[in-house]
A and B are shown apart, each in its own frame.
Chain A
Amino acid sequence: MSSRDTEPQSIVSGEVPSRSPSRLGRLSARFGRRAVTALIGLTIAFLLVPVLFTFAASFFENLTGILPSGGLTLQNWKLALGVAESQGAQRGLGGFWTFVAPDVLFVLTLPNGVEYVLRVPYDVTIQTPIPVALGFSVLLALLGVVVNLIVGVPIAYAVTRYTFPGRRLVNTFAILPIVPGIILGIAFLKTYPDLPSVVALVLGYSLLKIPYMVLAVQSSFESMDLRRIEESARSLGASWTTTFVRVIVPGAKQGIISGSIISWTLAAAEFNFSYIVYSRGPRPFSLFLFENISNNPFLRAAAAISIYFVIVAAVTALLNWVGENGFSVGGVQ
């Protein structure tokens, strides 16, 4: 080892680093690659193992010791989905839509005072095992995506295609989630007091998830020669509107689809904002997840979360099919 190894080496001073590798350098040459690869494996295990374990455990009857035990069962899933009625009043994902048929269907009063009453012979209760919250959240998130499309595609095009004063600032505000969900929730509390929770949630979701849409669509636009495409279409006689709707937008199909999928999933799972803002009406899915996590036995909570894992897995498969690496487009928050 030369004596220069111990001296501070700085890139600023332009000093040339020692030529003969130190012990650390030799070690890194020997094991560095293996260590980093192992670190990647460890990271993926840290992220993935609890998910797989939760999913697997949700099908078992007991969980004591390291591994789940007892027979396989679907009971946890049924309880979480609200298909099976549990003891007590607790219900899974919003439980049932209950429809009680009216007792008296029809009353006919004749002029002489005689009444004919048509009665239902027995009480009819129709219980539809629909996970209301899940359906509701799917819808809420979908509305958010619609707003994101209307807002996100034009703004992404404007900042990619045109130069105008304030373009950089607009771009930053469009792709940076400026307001954290919980702060926006507090801000919403008194601003729109008469707005139903549904509208407030959709408005909030659209604002919180717009960066993902803009980022995805922008990356599509950036791979296109927008000016040339626009000029060709225009010179062939298409109006600007026609060009935008029938040439530009279809060209950015991949970004639009992956942006929609990502902002949909993130809106469906948005918790911080929903938790503060929600007051009445049907509940968003994330609040039921929270209720399951904080109140229910482990395995039932595992089943409730696994419902969401199934959605994420499906969405990830869809994203990969579209040509993305899962959620890697949504790298910013």
Chain B
Amino acid sequence: MSTLQEYLLIDRVKESPLSRVIQPETERERERLRIAVLTVPFFLLAVFGALVPLVMMIRISVAEEFLRAVSGWTVEPYQHLFASIAAFLPVVGTEVSAMISPTGESVSPVYGRTIWNSLWFGALTTVSSVTLGVAVAHGLEKYELPRKGLLITLISFPISLPGIVAAFMMIVLFGRTGLLTNVLAVLSGIRPVTLQLTGQPAGTALAILGLYFGYLYSMIPRATLLLRGTYAEVNTAAEEAARSLGATPLQTFRYVTLPQIRPGIVGAVILTFRTALAIFGTVLVLKSLSVVTFRFDQLIKVGYELNIASALATLFFVFTLCFTFVGLRYTSAEVAR
């Protein structure tokens, strides 16, 4: 390339919109440059920390060969998953499963059952913790409680505890030598072994009840804090007016407070449900119910079925992404405010 052509090229670059960002001339362009500089680190982190790995995960979920080099294309993992989900359906399950499955035979409904477990258990714990969160946030906001700062600190500290520790806390409360187990055993005269909630065979009602409390241990603080943000914006003048006009506290809550905090409640439900679906350590320790996250562990650590795990993780991710954004859009709930 001759010197002359190079100059031309540089001139062309100089005139492109990109060059205006790099070499700004007006204040507006300078501001654009600043925004670019400020956001670049975040984009780098988002691309290398999240985007590239997620694309790789999706690629593996449709790859024929993944143990050494990732190559080839197949949709078998998804066929298998959907066949398994179909097999879980009542009545028509077996036939639909056989239609979808790659081998032409009906497959075990194990994934269908796991996904169902994740969903109903997540919904149950979400409703419980958000309900409790409303009550706690209400009390913290409205009542003259002593040492309010300390109370908030005490309610929020479990956010720092990983799920495995939450599980251990349940062993402390409900295990064979657990506090509540022993108190109950002394009161009722029954042997602790039949009362304990943790360490029971997986899937039994007692084991699931233990896991339920383990989930609540992680979820109550999060739900409460989300709702505290909502409560901070409630119009107290309207509540006072309602009370002075003769409404009972319950009526005031039902007709004045609740309509105001409803978007906040929906936001809290969405975010708490996300938390519930993503809980892993608690289940790994207590082993009480086969949920999706627990299934990942078996897929990866027991049999190295990375393609199925990736397909399941992709479904999981797309599902949470969709319901988060759709939910937050339709409720116009301000996230994290």
- The interface of chain A, by Cβ under 8 A from chain B, is 11, 17, 19, 21, 24-26, 28-29, 32-33, 36-37, 39-40, 43-44, 46-51, 53-54, 57, 63-66, 147, 150-152, 154-155, 157-158, 162, 164, 170, 172-176, 178-184, 186-192, 203-204, 206-207, 210-211, 215, 240, 262, 265-266, 269-272, 275-276, 286, 289-290, 293-294, 298, 301-302, 305, 308, 312, 315-316, 320, 325-328, 330-333
B220–A331 touching, CB < 8 Å: no
Among A50, A51, A170, A325, which residue has its beta carbon within 8 angstroms of that of B42? Answer: A170
Cβ of B335 < 8 Å from any Cβ of A?
yes
Name which residue of chain B comes closest to A24, CB basis. Answer: B250
Query: Is A66 a contact partner of B182 (Cβ separation < 8 A)?
Result: yes
17 A/B residue pairs, CB under 8 Å, sorted by A: A40-B140, A47-B155, A50-B170, A154-B39, A183-B278, A183-B313, A187-B50, A187-B310, A206-B45, A207-B50, A271-B280, A289-B162, A293-B165, A308-B165, A316-B157, A328-B156, A328-B228
Indicate if the CB atoms of B162 and A29 lie closer than 8 Å.
no
Contact A44 B161 (CB under 8 A): no
For residue B321, CB closer than 8 A to chain A, the reply is yes
* Chain A residues within 8 Å of B160, by CB: 262, 265-266, 269, 312, 315-316, 327, 330
Return the contact of B156 from the options A176, A271, A331 (Cβ within 8 A).
A331
The answer to whether B31 and A305 touch across the interface, beta carbons within 8 angstroms, is: no
Could you tell me if A182 and B49 are in contact, using CB atoms closer than 8 angstroms? no
Contacts of B207 in A (CB 8 A): none
Q: Is A191 a contact of B56 with CB atoms below 8 Å?
A: yes
- Docked Cα-Cα span, A65 to B249, in Å, equals 44
Asked if B132 and A39 make an inter-chain contact with CB atoms under 8 angstroms apart, the answer reads: yes
* CB <8 Å contact, A36 and B156: no
Contacting residue for A286 out of B162, B220, B254, CB 8 A: B162
- Decide: B169 and A179 in contact? CB cutoff 8 A: no
- Chain-A contact segment, one of B10-18, B76-84, B87-95, B144-152: B144-152
Cβ-closest chain B residue relative to A28: B250
Whether B169 and A50, one on each chain, are in contact in the complex, defined by CB atoms closer than 8 angstroms, is yes
- Contact surface of B with A, Cβ cutoff 8 Å: 30-32, 34-35, 37-39, 41-42, 44-46, 48-50, 52-54, 56-57, 60, 66, 70, 132, 135-136, 138-140, 143, 145, 149, 151-165, 167-173, 177, 179, 182-183, 186, 213, 216-217, 220-222, 224-226, 228-229, 246-251, 254-255, 259, 271, 274-275, 277-278, 280-281, 284-285, 293, 296-297, 300, 306, 309-310, 313, 316-317, 320-321, 324, 335-336
Whether B249 contacts A33 by the Cβ 8 Å rule is: yes
Closest CB-CB distance, A110 to chain B, in whole Å?
55
Q: Is the CB of A190 within 8 A of B300?
A: no
Do the beta carbons of A203 and B161 come within 8 Å of each other?
A: no
Measured CB to CB, the nearest residue on chain B to A294 is B285
For the complex, what is the distance from the CA of A63 to the CA of B255, rounded to whole Å? 51
Q: Do residues B39 and A54 form an inter-chain contact, with CB atoms below 8 A?
A: no
CA distance A189 to B54 in the complex (A): 11
Which of the residues B50, B167, B248 comes within 8 Å of A29, measured between beta carbons?
B248
Please name all residues of chain A whose beta carbon is closer than 8 Å to the beta carbon of B177 when the two chains form the complex.
Answer: 63-65, 298
**A48 and B154 form a contact (CB under 8 A):** yes
Residue in chain A with minimal CB distance to B222:
A333
| Closest residue of B by beta carbon distance from A186 | B313
| Interchain CB contact under 8 A, A331 and B229 | yes
Contact A186 B50, CB 8 Å, known A24-B250, A316-B157: no
Residue among A46, A184, A215, A325 making CB contact with B50, cutoff 8 Å? A184
Query: Chain A residues near B145 (CB, 8 Å)?
Result: 37, 40
